[in-house]
Structures are given as structure tokens and as C-alpha cells.
Amino acid sequence: MAISRLGFSLISIIFLGASLVMLWFLILSGLTHTSPLSQTYFLRANTSDITGSRPITQWTYFFVCGLDNNDCGPATPALPIGHAWSGSPDNAPAELVGGYGGDTTSFMYWYLWRFGTVFYLITLFFTVIAFFSSFLACCGRLGSALTGLIAAVALLFNTVAVCLMTATFVKMRNAFLSDNRDASLGTYAFGFAWGSWAALLISTVLFCVGKRSSKSDSGAGWGTRRRVSTHSRKSYEGRRVKEEYP
């Protein structure tokens, strides 16, 4: 009974930890030249003749970098995608340029990725809280229920974040391709993003299943004790009848 609950809790913690690690890889991309952070970027595009841009540009969570995440600019929270070039640039895809971020970014891309970065930070906060509270799930139903609730909140924000991220950079890639420029999505970044989401989903479901399993185990134990108690009582009463009426 206790082993079943403990097993669900441990598997849930493993998936929750995996989700958290992949989320950190995503957010810290471009920070160092150590693998896999050096290979993690959302989009790589040919920006060779755009005013103020690098020949090849890669977008990460906090940075705009050159090829292989080298020659990165300063870390910027809620990074405007137009930081890859100067204001009112020549030869940039018209869909991406507008009056936001110093005349570098259009209205849609300014808000798409701005909200995406914020939702990722909120996801990180709730996932960390869920991870530390997950050890309470090993102690009983209340711990499983509390951790499952926090993980579900993290999953909600993660779902919004990963959808905004996907929409932003898939549309950016299409805009570059329509402008006859090479562009490709980052395999590592999208793998970490959707892998983190899937691991968090599995963890949330397992915490909920572990809570139900703990409840059913407790009920089964009570029913067993009750049947044993009833059987013992009947045996005792039978012996008394035999002793009084030989």
C-alpha cells in the first residue's frame, strides 16, 4: 500500500526534475559555449545584408547571437526580436519590422515573444515550487494533492509559453523564407521546450494518480481489517455457544 504511493511519487519527482532541467537549458541558452547550451537557439536565419545585423543571426532566450551562439549581444529580458538589426533597417522582412523596440520590431512580434518570455519565467517559478513540495507527496495524500495542484498551475503557464514560443519563431522562419533567406528552427530549443512540457504533463498526471491510489489503498486496508475483525468475532461467539450448551 505505502510502496504503491511511494512508487508513484518517486516517478513523478523524476519527471518533474527532468522538466525543470530542460526548462533551465532553454532559458540559459547562449550563456556559455558549453554543450548543449551552445547548440540551443530558437531560430537561425541569414541576415547578411540587413542594416546593423550579423551575417548569420541566432535568437536565444536572453541573447541575439551569431553563428553557433558566438558574438552574442547583451542579455536583455523580454528580448525584442528586432534587436538583431538597427532601427528602421533596410532589407529586413517587412513583416518583422515596426515601431516597437526602437523601430526594430512589429507590433505582433513585440507582444508575442514578450508574453512568451514572461510566461516561461512564471512556469519556472511554479515548477521550482512544485519540485520542492513534491517530496511531501511521499508522505501521504495531502502532499500528492498539493504538489499536483502546483504542478497543474505550472503546466497551464507552460502550455501558454510553449505555444507562444512556437508561434513566434515558426512565423519568423516563414517570414525569412518568404524573403528568400535561409532560416531554420533550433532543434535543441524546441526539443527542450516540448520535452519539458511533456515531462511536466506526465508528472502532474502521476501526482493525481498517486493521490487516488493512496486513497484506494487506504480503503482496501480498512476493508481487510474489518473483515478480519468480523471473522474473529463470529469465531469467538461460536465457541461461547458450544461452552454453554455442551
Q: Is the dihedral of CA 179, 182, 186, 190 positive or negative?
A: positive
Whole-number pLDDT of residue 237: 53
CA 16, CA 205: separation in Å to the nearest integer? 11
pLDDT digits (tens, 9 = 90+) for 76-106: 888 999 999 999 999 999 999 999 999 999 9
Does 75 have pLDDT greater than 60?
yes
Whole-number pLDDT of residue 211: 62
pLDDT digits (tens, 9 = 90+) for 31-63: 878 888 889 999 999 999 999 999 999 999 999
The DSSP string of 158-203 is: HHHHHHHHHHHHHHHHHHHHHTT--EEE-HHHHHHHHHHHHHHHHH
Report yes or no: 192 and 30 within 8 Å, Cβ to Cβ.
Answer: no
Whole-number pLDDT of residue 157: 98
pLDDT digits (tens, 9 = 90+) for 16-34: 999 999 999 999 998 878 8
C-alpha cell at 14: 523524476
pLDDT digits (tens, 9 = 90+) for 165-223: 999 999 999 999 999 999 999 999 999 999 999 999 999 998 888 666 544 444 444 34
Say if residue 226 is exposed, middle or buried (CB neighbours under 10 Å; 0-12, 13-18, 19+): exposed
Mean pLDDT of the chain: 85
pLDDT digits (tens, 9 = 90+) for 144-171: 788 889 999 999 999 999 999 999 999 9
Cis peptide before 93 (omega within 30 of 0): no
Report yes or no: 45 and 56 within 8 Å, Cβ to Cβ.
Answer: yes
Report yes or no: 170 and 185 within 8 Å, Cβ to Cβ.
Answer: yes
CA 35, CA 166: separation in Å to the nearest integer? 23
Q: Of 64, 17, 75, nearest to 41 (Cα)?
A: 64
Whole-number pLDDT of residue 216: 47
